[in-house]
């Protein structure tokens, strides 16, 4: 199974994210990695603060439901859950929870994540959490 190592790296990413282990998370990416998401994009120095906010403020957690790999690409479908525990992007903590389906696509290079694209319905998240403008 030539794609299994790619899947293992991506699942290690999920595990590190869920634990809030950001040094371990960084080690899974190439030095010039770019991460694209609904809250912003850039290198790890740009994206790590976003991940920290998602973890600290929303207690975001990813549960892989399907992982598919072909060539240097891995695609994951998740159930993403979280709870508003601290102020997030100008919204006060509500204590409410959310659950959505999210997808992420990874381009691998030299056994590490080189690019990551995330797709999730932020509008549904904000609605479930009670974040209103």
Check residue 133 and give its pLDDT. 72
- Whether this prediction's pTM lies above 0.85 is answered by yes
Q: What is the sign of the dihedral through the CA atoms of 107, 31, 54 and 12? A: positive
Quick one: which of 54, 67, 57, 47 has its CA closest to 1? 67
Distance of alpha carbon 37 from alpha carbon 49, whole angstroms: 13
Question: What domains does the chain contain, in order, with CATH numbers?
Answer: 4-129 (3.10.450.50)
Check residue 73 and give its pLDDT. 97
Checking DSSP bridges between strand 29-37 and strand 112-119, what pairing results, if any? parallel
Q: State the pLDDT confidence band at 2, using cuts at 50, 70 and 90.
A: low
For residue 117, CA distances in Å to 19, 35, 102 come to: 20, 6, 11
């Amino acid at each position: 199974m030539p794609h299994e190592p790619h899947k293992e790296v991506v699942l290690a990413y999920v595990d590190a994210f869920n634990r809030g282990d950001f040094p371990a998370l960084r080690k899974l990416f190439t030095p010039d990695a770019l991460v694209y998401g609904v809250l912003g994009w850039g290198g790890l120095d740009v994206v790590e603060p976003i991940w920290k906010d998602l973890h600290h403020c929303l207690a975001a957690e990813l549960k892989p439901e399907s992982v598919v790999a072909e060539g240097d690409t891995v695609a994951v479908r998740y159930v993403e859950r979280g709870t508003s525990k601290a102020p997030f992007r100008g919204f006060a903590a509500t204590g409410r929870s959310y659950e959505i389906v999210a997808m992420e696509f990874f381009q691998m290079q030299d056994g590490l994540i080189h690019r990551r694209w995330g797709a999730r319905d932020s509008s549904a998240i904000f609605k479930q959490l009670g974040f209103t403008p």
